[in-house]
Amino acid sequence: MARSSTPSPPEELAEKIIDIDVSEEMRGSFLEYAYSVIYQRALPDARDGLKPVQRRILYQMSEMGLRPDRGHVKCARVVGEVMGRLHPHGDAAIYDAMVRMSQAFAMRVPLVDGHGNFGSLGGDDAPAAMRYTEARMDRAAQMMVTSIDEDVVDFRPNYDGQENEPEVLPAAFPNLLVNGASGIAVGMATNMAPHNLGEVVGAARHLLAKPDAPLEELMELVPGPDLPTGGTIVGLDGIRDAYAKGRGTFRTRATVSIEKVSPRRMGLVVTELPYSVGPEKVVARIKELVQAKKLQGIADLKDLTDRNQGLRLVIELKNGFNPEGVLAELYRLTPMEESFGINNVALVDGEPRTLGLRDLLQVFVDHRLEVVRRRSEHRRAKRRERLHLIDGLLVALLNIDAVIALIRDSEDTADARTRLMDTYELSDTQARYILDTPLRRLTKYDRLELEKEAEQLKKEIAELTAILESDAKLRKAVSKELAEVAKEYGTPRRTVLLEADGAARTSAVPLEVDDAPCAVLLSADGMLGRSKGAAVPRIYDGLRTKHDAVACAVPARLRGDIGLVTDLGRAIRLPVVEVPELPDAGEDAPPLASGLPVEEFVSLEPDERVIALACMDGDGPGLALGTEQGVVKRVARDFPANKDDFEVIALKDGDRLAGAVQLATGEEDLAFVTSSGQLLRLSASSVREQGRPASGVAGVKLADDARVLWFGAVAVPEDTVVVTVAGASGDGALVAAEGGSAKVTPFEAYPVKGRATGGVRCHRFLKGEDALVFAWIGRAPARASRADGGPVRLPDMDPRRDGSGEPLMRAIATVGSGQHDTGFLERTGE
């Protein structure tokens, strides 16, 4: 095997080794790199507000004819043209810049009209690949490149010298202020906030009219940024600093409304977020805080954002928490409030500078003055060239016969051109144009058209000359064009500006509501509500609607629980704060028509109904229960704290609760009224307390086919009456025929008896009557009502225990059975 050897380098190469100072090389290379980043990538030009890649995209789309009135093309095609002809960098950078220019939530006035998935707010969802998306120029982008072919800006060679590209775009509106900019260079960065187009144009026009206008006047026209995503800016001092010195900070807040998101709960609805903050970021942060128990009061969070209704985050709050307090915590702990640091760094004449509002407007105004001046010069030169040609052609038309003869006698084209120039004192350009003009253009009609065109050209040349010779007219022309742009593309302000309050937000509003005393009310028709005070109201004397009849009322605390007792023997726990607050009705009971049905709070069986309310917190006597089969039970207030639904009595087959009452002292009298016309009054102390699984003890002894019609407790016997209505048993719960009888008896007339007895008769049936269809025991009533709301006359107080009732002259309707109907039978006093 041959031995390998490394050849020695040529002597001339070995002699050219140069020692280089590493520090000097690093300094030079770094400066070259920094210069490239600053001028070719990161910082925008203060004149058109564009970075090189953005400028090249818009220029190339204009060259490709991708105007708004034409169809979209694949973004990959645009990226390829820009990369191949103008931008010597990767396709990812070009496509990212194009995507941003199409995002309405990133640009106040988008410059690219995108078709497809171009990402979401905050960058939570990445845009689709450029092979899937399409784009064309937006309407406003045409204003950036308008008149670019009229020598209004300078061009320079591209990276390989084979193409030319503009150094800056004409920019018919202040794009840098309107759309803002952000970028990180080497040793410097820029972060500029978007503004409202109409406001910025108004300030620019004001500066055109008054070149020495102070900053205060400009700030009256541009009060602050106008972010694409709306929201609220809190604190304008930082904005004033930024407008004066180019640097400042302000806070942006989400736009949130407090709404009722469900029949039982309030919520926060977020419709606008701070600039560059997406809903996914907010949702993730809230979930993180809730899981870490750093944020309280949130029950559910839904992101309902879509293309039809836009951004919509629904934050459902737990009952017992102040929406304002929770919102203040969300502002403090989540991206729903963010700081925006303004750093107005842009290139002015190739030099990075920090600019205030007046400087930014001045740079743009100077740029537009230069663009309009150069455009006017270009247009005047073009019109002068055209007028020069028309003047020559008119000379030929005036001497048409001689000109034709001259051309026919000439040896060749050069001879004809020379003879025309010598004979009629024409220029070379005019002579060539005459020779190139076809004979069909030399008619009498064409002569008239040429003369008309010449007059128009002279007029336009005079107007352009006036603009070029007068600075005032030049400024007026620029101002007029800006006004047209604002009228065409201006939109109302989206961001609300607020001065800083300077107060601690969380200390002003407590996070949780106060544990205030209240009373929870249940109406005869199953409506639930709570009063503002702790006093339990009596029956509403001014009865007008059946929802105003208070069937049951218990005292509670706002952050406590109550129990809904059903006729199937179960209690359902319900937080008091979930019960809607009723309007204040003064001394009367609140109108329960403004409450909510119990079905909104709990799920009931098809044949189940809520018959009473129970206190779930604290000590003291519990519930007294009475069933339709005559069973009585007292339940101790040892309800399970870890269950929201539990039984309070074990019912026998076919049995139901006829009534339930929350005892106040345990010394009340309990009462049964049966359908056979019997009333049993017994002491609550004679019934011992039992646990929840127990089935109770014998209460009242029932006759055959009889059932308990009413059960309850009486605390003040001397102020209590017994109201009974008799009828035929086939009438059910409503008495609808004449011949029925009603009776009102003092409760004191009935003696206390023992358990498991039949009690005493309370109503003797008349002819055609065989059962009680309605019974009620309570405080002396005032009036009764029929189904149509009219009054029903009740008999006077009957002291007899076993007497029969007086016949009813009119039907009694709307009266059911049980404790729920306490407000429907009240004596009129007639």
* Residue 132 annotated in active site: yes
Cα dihedral sign, 18-22-28-32:
positive
The rounded distance, in Å, linking the Cα atoms of 163 and 83 is 12
The rounded distance, in Å, linking the Cα atoms of 755 and 700 is 6
CA distance readout (Å), 383 to 458, 463, 740? 8, 12, 109
Q: 539-574 in b/e burial notation, b at 16+ Cβ within 10 A?
A: bbeebeebbbbbbbbbbbbbbbbbbbbbbbbbbbbb
Say which of 59, 132, 243, 540 is annotated catalytic: 132
CA distance readout (Å), 790 to 200, 445, 778? 69, 97, 22
The rounded distance, in Å, linking the Cα atoms of 582 and 569 is 28
- In 3D space, the residue among 791, 724, 819, 725 whose CA is nearest the CA of residue 544 turns out to be 791
Q: Which helix (DSSP H) or strand (DSSP E) does residue 806 occupy?
A: strand 806-807
Q: Which residues contact 120 (CB under 8 A, 6 or more apart)?
A: 278, 280
**CA 635 distance to own-chain centroid:** 49
For 547-614, give the DSSP string.
Answer: GG-EEEEEEEETTSEEEEEETTSEEEEEEGGGSPBPPP-TTSPP-GGGSEEGGGTS---TT--EEEEE
Measured N-to-C along each axis, helices 428-436 and 357-398 cross at an angle, to the nearest 10 degrees, of: 70
- In 3D space, the residue among 170, 140, 218 whose CA is nearest the CA of residue 47 turns out to be 170
Counting every residue written for the chain, the total comes to 830
Cα dihedral angle (436, 438, 443, 445), rounded to 10 degrees? -80
Over its C-alpha atoms, the chain yields an Rg (Å, rounded) of 46
Q: Give the tokens for residue 582.
A: 């009723």
* 3-class DSSP state of 803: coil
Catalytic residues, which ones?
132
